[in-house]
Amino acid sequence: MKAIIFGAPGAGKGTYSTRLKTKLGVEVIAMGDIFRTQVKENSELGKKVQSYVEKGALVPDEIVVEVLKQHLAKVPNGSGVILDGFPRTLEQAKTLETILQLDIIILLDVPDWIIIERLSSRRICKNCSAVYNTRFLKPKIENICDKCHGELYQRPDDNPDVIQNRLKIYQDQTSPLLIYYKEKNVPIITSKTTDIDTPPEPLVEQMFEELKKLKIVN
């Protein structure tokens, strides 16, 4: 399976991608996580990315595409992949066509009010970037990652004013992409959330059933 997962900030892309990875045995390439790790490690790539972030500019396509190619090359033969955070623009979508043949788009449809509430309660591991939520995805030990025992933190951009701006940017960027893929006849499955306390597992099962109906997975 070659898939893109689309969803606004806080829609649960990391949460659902992780669970689909476990269930389907696919790889996940999350561009935001990759860049944040590189910035944290102060690598050459991290320095380049940070220089754009500090200006409030998007990382240039040539850098993003090169990083994507490097990580796709590491995906084992025969393994599926879910892309999270790429493409973000029509130009990136067109470039992706030359790299990867997509099977499916997974769209997370979540109301803004749920996203704002989720992001304000989101916590991320400083070490391995695992995602938790103080409402319904709590770690076993408060503020400690279950996987690597790293410290959990709240991202500084997880506040309502910044979130509203991020949601607008997402809508502006993603709507044209969805139209583009519909015109290309790439199948789209939509996972809709209406209750903030809905755990991810039932929705993952729904996604799995939809993928089976489309014969994308067995």
The reply to whether 123 belongs to the active site is: no
pTM of the model: 0.81
For the domain spanning 2-110+170-213, the CATH number is 3.40.50.300
Active-site annotation holder among 2, 21, 23, 166: 166
Nearest CA to 138 out of 155, 159, 152, 156 is that of 152
- Which residues, 6 or more positions from 156, have their beta carbon under 8 angstroms from its beta carbon? none
The reply to whether 118 belongs to the active site is: no
pLDDT for position 57? 67
Active-site annotation holder among 40, 155, 168, 182: 155
Active-site annotation holder among 13, 19, 118, 123: 13
Q: Is the pLDDT confidence value at 145 over 90? A: yes
pLDDT for position 136? 75
List the chain domain ranges.
Answer: 2-110+170-213
Report yes or no: 199 and 16 within 8 Å, Cβ to Cβ.
no
Active-site annotation holder among 19, 118, 122, 123: 122
AA letter at 26: V
Active-site annotation holder among 19, 88, 118, 123: 88
pLDDT for position 22? 92
AA letter at 168: K
Q: For 191-217, what is the mean pLDDT?
A: 91
**Block residue for tokens 């279950």:** 146
For 73-107, what is each residue's pLDDT tens digit?
999 888 899 999 899 889 999 999 999 999 999 99
Q: For 113-141, what is the mean pLDDT?
A: 88
